[in-house]
Every structure is written in structure tokens, then in C-alpha cells.
Chain A
Amino acid sequence: MPRSFTRLFLTGTAVVWAFGTAQGATPEKVGASTCMSCHAEAAEQFKQNVHAKTFSALKNIPFEESCETCHGPGSLHAGAAGDKSNPDFATIKNPAKAGAKESSETCLQCHAGGQQMFWKGSKHDVQNVSCAECHSVHSGSGKKLMAKATESETCFQCHSAIKGQINRSAHMPVAEGKLQCSSCHNPHGSPGTKNLKADSANSLCYQCHEDKRGPFLWEHMPVRESCLTCHQPHGSHNDKMLSAKRNLLCQRCHNSTRHPGTLYQGGDAGNQHNRIFNQSCTNCHSNIHGSNHPSGKFFLR
């Protein structure tokens, strides 16, 4: 068995090598000056963006070598002189038109660490979203070279339901420019779920809502387990971005005798019954995220 495996491996290697070398001439680097003779506009755009600066400063890549760092050696492509029927024309690598994996591999040559450490196997990677679908290396806007004018516009290309939610009456200040999608999510992947930039939804929420962090003497357990049990983080028409209107939200879990099991109806709304009017249940259970008071078991104090 080991011998036959060795034979198979050697034969396969020889076939791959022979096939590879039989493909004709290997392209060589020609330099940016050659590229600019046809792609002057793209090169000018490139010169203005962050890559042009970091290539030389961080990677010691002179401008003359910059095009072929991402597009690969261009001698055959240049030799085709714009003739698309010439097979050599297609020997240049265009990450914007390549398959998602190939496109991303080009970027990962430099961007494998930091924010992109968990790119491989991430939601977007698995769904064949390539770097080029969100970023435009030559003409992108801002320091992140986004393909659309803003980050949220870029995300909303696919996440249209979220675009609707963000515009609801109770929302995060995304439209106002105080938060962005990337304030909470890392679109390049994260070790946890939903591309969150924290270990869990709660850990993320506590980064701005430190007063809810506790821990408390009396914990409201579903709250501690997930803020999303009650809140819709992208927006809601209910007060405080709640996923349903109080009192009915609370009554999904609290059916005990006395008032939590009460059927509140139109008449109660009309006469401003204090268990459903204004803050409803939290008129009284105001420390609903947790209480530190000895008499706070029911979050009244």
C-alpha cells in the first residue's frame, strides 16, 4: 500500500509539472510605467489612496512594482496590446473579476492578520463574498476604500432587511453617522457568531451600556443570557428597540396569577391603566436589567 501510494504521488506530481510547463511562456514583470500607458486613470486613482503610500512605507514596494503586486506579472497581457481575442490578454489577474476565493487570496497576501485573521471560513468567505465586492482598491471612498459612498451603503447592498430596520423610529444612531455597521460587526469574520466584535452580544452591548453590565445581586436571567431576548439591535417601532410592545413582551414569559396574567384590552388602554400605559410594566419594575437592592428581587427598587 505505501509503495503504490508513493508511485501514485510521484506520477501525479510529474503530470502536474508537465502540464504546468506545457502552458507556454511565463509572464514576467513589466513595471507600472507599462501598465499606465493603457490604464492611466486607474493608476492615478491608485496613487491617491492608502495602498500607494503603505506599499512603499510598510512593504518596501516601489510604485513601479505596485500594479503587479496584485495583478501578477503583466508582460503577456501587455504584449496582447488590448486584443481580447489573444489568450495572453487574459493572463493578467483581475481580482475584481476573479472568483471570490482567488480574489480574496490576492488581498490576504498582506491582510491575513489583524481584522482579517478570521476571514477564512467566515460567513462572508463561505458565501463567496470577495473583498472586491465591498472594497474598490483603485477608486474606493475613504480610508477603507469602500466600493460605495459609505460603509452602510456597502453593507445594505445585500442586507436590505437591515436597511429597513435601521430606519425605524427606535434605532441606533447609524443614519446620524454616530455608529456604523462596523461599530458592532467585523465583516471580515470573527471567532464568535454574527461577525460580532465581541465574545457575545451582551459583551458588545456592555461596551456602551456599562451601567447594565453589573453583575447584580438580583439578575434578570434572560437579560444576562442575551440582550436580544427583548431588544432588536437594528431597530424597532417599539420604545427602547423592544421586539414587542410592553406589556405583551413581558407577558410572553410572565403568566403568573395577579397582574402579569391580566388580559389588558382596549378599555384599559383608553383609561390609561398604569400597568400598560407609558412605561407599562417598567413603571414599577424599573430595574429590569438587574437590581442591587436587598428588596430588588422583583426589580422594583
Chain B
Amino acid sequence: MKTMTNALWKTAGLAVAACLLAVPARSETTVSQEAEVGYQNRHQSGNEAKFEEYGEVPDGPVLKLYRMKLEKGGTEVEFKAKDVLQEQQSFKVLVNKDSKLKVKASWNQTPHLFSNDAHSPYVQSAPGVFVIPDTVKGTLGAANTTTFVNIVNTLDSGGMPLGFRRDEGSVSLSLAPSDSLKFSLSATEALKRGSKAKGASFGFSHVVELPEPIDYRIYSSNVGAEYNSKGVQLGFGYGFSSFKNDIEEMVWDNGKRSADRAASNAGYVAGDQSAKGRMHLAPDNVAHNVSLNAGANLPFGSRVTASLSYGVMSQNQDLQPYTINSAIVRGSTGTPSDAPFTASDPRNLPTNKANAKMINLVQNYGVTSNPWQSLTLGVKFRSQMMDNRTSEVIFPGQVRFDQVWEGGNIENHAFQYRKTLVEGSAGYQVIQPVSIGLSYGVEWTDRDHREVTEQKEKTLAATTDIRPAEGFLIRGKFVNSKRQVDHFDVEDLNAGNELPGLRRFDLSERVRNQGGLSVQMSKGPVNLALSGSLRHDDYRAGPGDLTDGVAGNQNQMYGLLEDRGKQAALDLGLDVNDRIGVSAFYDYEDARGLQRSNENAAVLNQDGATDWTTRTIDRYHTAGLGLDIKKVKDRADIHFGYDLSQSKGSTELVALGSGHSGKPSLPDTKITKQDVTVKTDIKITDNLSLGLGYLYEKYDVTDWATENVPIASGQFAGQVNIYLADASRDYNAHVGTVMAKYKW
């Protein structure tokens, strides 16, 4: 693979050289350059990573942009560098010869920072291997909660960053030998390195979180050909992608044990049976995809299009043994949970390879027609087939959390599905300013190995556009869809110990009503857009016995019952005069879900007394204000901006069985981000301008789950947990910038 990438880099290099050599010798060369350099001063309270989540905000000199463009004859060579020496830096070289041959090479870094200040008692002794000191091994198991927390805290070696960066190098070449023919070739190599938080628990009462090491290498390449003549277009594409994870597994110590032990069936509750844990990380995989696209114009303003895509994804990684716990052997405890063999020996697996393979076949066909200017008719057919050819393996049991053998055959069912959509649409301009559109579609889905195997969804959509005057548009839309299932396989649910009344929301019957209205006005100095929408998803039980024939079971549906949303937005732009412009934006969204569940220790008992129903409410406010003043004293442009993004999440316990009386809802969460920006661009000469900028960002978070995460926690009875302490925190940041922009 590396050889192929190297070959492509060399090809790109040769192509660039060929382009440059092909520049007509007598042509005049024009070189234009642009640079933006300056100094940035940053002050941020605390050490919160959110401010630099996707890009570094340096404190010191910055080279924000350098661009050079060389033109000679019909050949252009452009070099562009952005955010040089910063985490998010990018570089691009583009050679364009007569728009017929284009060669591009690029380097692009995208960071994703989660925390600057994660903590752990674990030390990574080798990639993916996490250890705690020998002196502590086993002692935590006997420690009470206070001692556990104290010991873990003393092992903390200090803050560490948590995040990764995707570095992507890419070369591409496109060649258009004639007006109607185009070929393209591209290759990309990406490296993704860093870490992210990963749960690596030993049991219900011993949660462990570790910084999963990320060392991914991804190669991808694409080849394409396109034919485009008057009225007929054909396209061919082939894509290949290979994902390689250089760290295949994660192994970590259990502070509660220094020697392996096997346990009875409930042994995973305390999480103190194995000396280590082991987990498979993302497996290497490859994907191929071939696509064919075609379009042709037909008489009466008609056009037919077709696309066919065939993809194969496969993965055949070696399987790890059932567990790393060497004490889980035949007859080790003398209980029914005895393993039939040594579970840590990979030879006892029924297969030693994953042998996983999926085929995706997607077909789209469409005909659209404008028999006359005011009428548009269309028909679409879409078929998507996911054919899972992964080997189905029967395992005689499993080891939960590396703690205990659980006997009984379990099989990895090869889940697969097929979706077929047929849709017809018509649009008609009734009179000059008014047009209406109608569409009706039916999508059939059938699946293997899920509770719903056959499903049908009918969707009716109506739209209307009214353009009463130039620059004035009123648009209305209404969608009604009904999803029906032919069968709900409760038996299959029982195998997973789910309630018989449960209807999973991605499968259950659903009636969706959705409507929206928007008004846009663009008249002279005023740009105004108002929009609003409502959505109501009503999930229904559909066919099947909700009680599963069990006397005393409540005959009602569980899961998500209803999902509602409403949204309203205003976007205003006003040019007060040639020099002053103001803008205002406000968006409000409200999403509410209603869900019912049941808490009962007895299997499959929908007793009513332990039912509970809760409503989740998410409210969002997004606002922006802007003021632009141009040509102050004929040489300065000034921008003032204020942006707000606020979200509030709450839950309401709306119906509780008698077993839950008096329970309080989960606390509210709230996140607010505010930005104030001032930018000034002062023109010094025709070529030189000076930019002065100031940014103030304030971030406030209230979230009981992610705020104030400690390294060790034992507040809940019987639980002792080790976290990365990568909590979300409030911060204030001030950034002052002085930039010089020079063009020559």
C-alpha cells in the first residue's frame, strides 16, 4: 500500500514538473503573493480544552496565511499555507494547465482536543498497556471507599492531554483531454494519533476509564472517469480504503486483584476477580466501492438518471480469547457457571478469525420531466441492500468483564437489511407567483435478525412557493408519513430479556407530521428571513401482544412514545447606508421526547407499580448580532459582533408507578457560550493593511454528568470507580490580535 501511495506522490510530482515545463517559454510570468502575519496575545482562565477543540489559538506570533500564485500562459501554480505551525495547519499546491490538467497536493491537520487536564493512576508502559504500581495491586480490593479514593488520588501523576489529530496528505490529478472527457485519480494517506476516553470496566461496581491510545493509518484512493456530451453524461468511479490500527488491543491492571480468580455468576458485580482486563480495539478493515452514474436528456424536457454502487467491506482480524483471566478453567468453582475449558486459551474458540464481510448494493433510477415550463413530473426508484456475509459463530458462552464464565450458546447473527423506495412527484406553477408541489413515496424495509422484519413507510409531502414580488418568497411545506410494521417478533426480544411491550423507536410504527413556513425578503438594503417549523412523531405499538400473554403484565407500550419539535428563526441583514450594515440572527428550538420504562427485578414483568414515564426537554437559543462599518476615514473597516449559543436540558418525571413515588427528576443541564468580537481592518497602502482584533469568549457549563468528574469516586454505595477526570469546565478567554496583510 505504501508503495502505491509513494508511486502516486511521484506521479503527482512528475505531473507538476511536466506542467511547469509545458509553460510556453515566451509567455510573461505573473507572480502574485499575499501574506497575513502578526502577533496574538491570549489569556484564558483555567485550562479548559473546549476553547481549542478543533484548532490551536496560539499565544505569540502567527502566520495565518501565505498564498503565492504564478501565472504563465494558460498555466497557474498556486501555493497556499494556512495557520502555519499550528495544530490545524494546512498546505496546498495546485497546478492548473488550461483547466485541462489539474494536479493538487495537500496536507491538512485537524485536531480534536477533549481535555488538557486528564488524570489517571495508570501509567502506559507500552502502547495499549496500562499498569498501576505493584505496591497497590490488590490493595484496592480490600480498601474501604475512602481509602480507595485516597490511594488512587496519590497515584495520579499529573495532568495529560486527551485528544487526537488527523493528519491527511493527499494528491489528486484530473485530466480533461477534451471538452467531453475527464479522468481523475487521487490518493490519500491519513494518520490519526492521540487518545480518547474509553470505558474499561471490571464490573457494575468498579468502573475504570482509560485513555485509549489511537494510532490509526488510513489509505484511500479513488479513480474516476467521466463522459459529458450534449445531453448524455456517464461517470465511473472506484474507491478503495484501508484502515489499519497499529494498537490492536488494550490490556490494563485491576487494582483490586494481583492474581486471577474465577467467581460464581455474580462475580462481575464487584469487579475483583481478574488481575487484568483486555479489550479488542477497532479492527483493521478494508472497503472497496465501484460506482456507475449515468444521465441522459430526453424529449419534452425530460431527463433520466441512473446510479449503481457496489461496495464490499471486510475485516478478518484474529480473535482474542474469551478472557485474559487465566483462572477461568474447566470446573474451577464447582458451580453451574464453570467454564468447559480454559477460557484464556485462544485454541478453545470455535473460530480464530472474525471473517466479517458486508456487501452494499445501492441502485437509484429517476426520470424527471418538464413537458412544459410550468409542470415538473418525477419518478424515483431506490434500492439499498446490505448483505451481511459475516460468519455466524456459536460460542458456548462468554466471560463478562473478564470476571466470570457465563455458559449457554450465543450466536452472532448476521444482521442485514434491504430498503426499496418508490416515489412520484409533481410540481406545477399555478399562476406566475404561485407554484405547488406534491410527492408521494413508499419505502419498504425488510431485515434479518431484528424484531421487525418487514416494514413499510408511506410519505406524502406538499409544498407551496409564493413569489408575490421580486425578492420575496413565501414557502410552506407539510409532510405526513406513516410507518407500519407487519410483524413484531416479541420472541426474539425475549431472548434478549427485553420487555414484551417495548417498541424500539427506529422500528416501531410511527406517524410523523411535519410542517414549516418560511418567508424570505430581499429588497434593496433589507434581507429578512423568518422561518418556523413543527414536528410531531407519534410512536405506536403496532401488531403483537404487548403482554406476551403474561397475566398481570400491563398492556401498554414501552420505549419512546412521542417526539416533538418546534423551531423558529429570524435572520435580518440591513444595509443602513453604503457604509453601515447591521445583522441579527435568532433561532429557537425546542425538542421533547416522552419515554416509558419499567424497573422490576423480575424478568419481563410489566407490573405497572414500577413503571415510570419521563419527558426530556431540550431548549436551544442561538443568537447573533453584527455591526459593520466600512471606510471609516476612507481607510478602516470595523466589525462588532456578539454571538450566543445556549442550550438547556431538563427531564420531568411525568408518570410514576407506586414503587417510585416521591422520586425527583434528574437535574437540569445548561451550556452557554458567548463571543464578543471586534475586528478592524485599516488600509495603510494599496498593498498593506493592518488588522486589529479582539475576541472575548465565555463558556459556562452546568452538567451533573460531565462537570466535576473526579479521578476516583465512591459516593454511590458499593461503587469504587476510576475516571480520567476530563471534566467540562467554565472558562473565559481573551484574545488580542495584530495582523499585517500584505499583497504584492
Contact = CB atoms under 8 A, between A and B. Distances in A.
A257 B620 contact: no
Contacts of B589: 161, 164-165
Interface string A147-169: 00000000011101101110111
Contact of B279 (A113, A263, A293): A293
Contacts of A158: 518, 520, 529
A194 interface: no
Contacts of A254: 498
B561 to A, nearest CB: 10
A200 to B, nearest CB: 7
Interface stretch (A5-13, A80-88, A119-127): A119-127
B336 interface: no
B667 A257 contact: no
A169 B671 contact: yes
Contacts of A191: 293, 305, 307, 362, 364, 366, 382
Contacts of A263: 597, 599, 610, 612, 653, 656, 660, 663
A222 B504 contact: yes
A277 B705 contact: yes
Interface in A256-272: 256-259, 261-272
Contacts of A261: 499, 597-600
Q: Which of B243, B283, B585 has the most CB of A within 10 A?
A: B283
Contacts of A182: none
B458 to A, nearest CB: 16
A128 B435 CA distance: 9
A285 B199 contact: yes
9 contacts: A101-B370, A120-B295, A126-B425, A191-B366, A216-B283, A219-B412, A244-B618, A252-B593, A282-B199
A-B pairs with lowest CB-CB distance, top 7: A121-B368, A113-B228, A164-B587, A237-B647, A286-B199, A266-B664, A191-B364
A266 B662 CA distance: 11
A178 B307 contact: no
B99 interface: yes
A114 B605 CA distance: 58
A269 to B, nearest CB: 4
A33 B307 CA distance: 44
Instruction: State the majority secondary structure of interface residues on B.
Output: strand
The size class of the interface chain A forms with chain B is 35 or more
A250 B667 CA distance: 18
Given A261-B597, A274-B207, A255 B499 contact: yes
B315 A210 contact: no
Contacts, number: 394
Contacts of A42: none
Nearest to A208: B166
Interface in A194-239: 199-200, 203, 206-208, 210-219, 221-222, 224-226, 229, 237-239
Nearest to B724: A278
B716 A101 contact: no
Nearest to A229: B506
A284 B506 CA distance: 23
B498 A284 contact: no
B116 interface: no
Nearest to B647: A237
Given A161-B531, A161-B587, A244-B593, A237 B666 contact: no
Given A113-B228, A178-B110, A225 B417 contact: yes
Interface in B456-472: 463, 465, 470
Interface string B354-383: 101110101010111010010010101010
Interface residues of B, number: 171
A45 interface: no
B627 interface: no
B475 interface: yes
B311 A127 contact: no
A251 B558 CA distance: 10
Contacts of B186: none
Interface string A96-138: 0101011000000000111001101100011110000000000
Given A191-B364, A214-B283, A113 B233 contact: yes
A285 B322 CA distance: 17
B669 interface: yes
A280 interface: yes
Given A120-B303, A215-B285, A245-B649, A269 B671 contact: no
Contact of B709 (A259, A278, A298): A278
A273 B704 CA distance: 11
A276 B98 CA distance: 60
A257 B599 CA distance: 6
Contact of B362 (A173, A200, A253, A298): A200
Contacts of B99: 53-54, 57-58
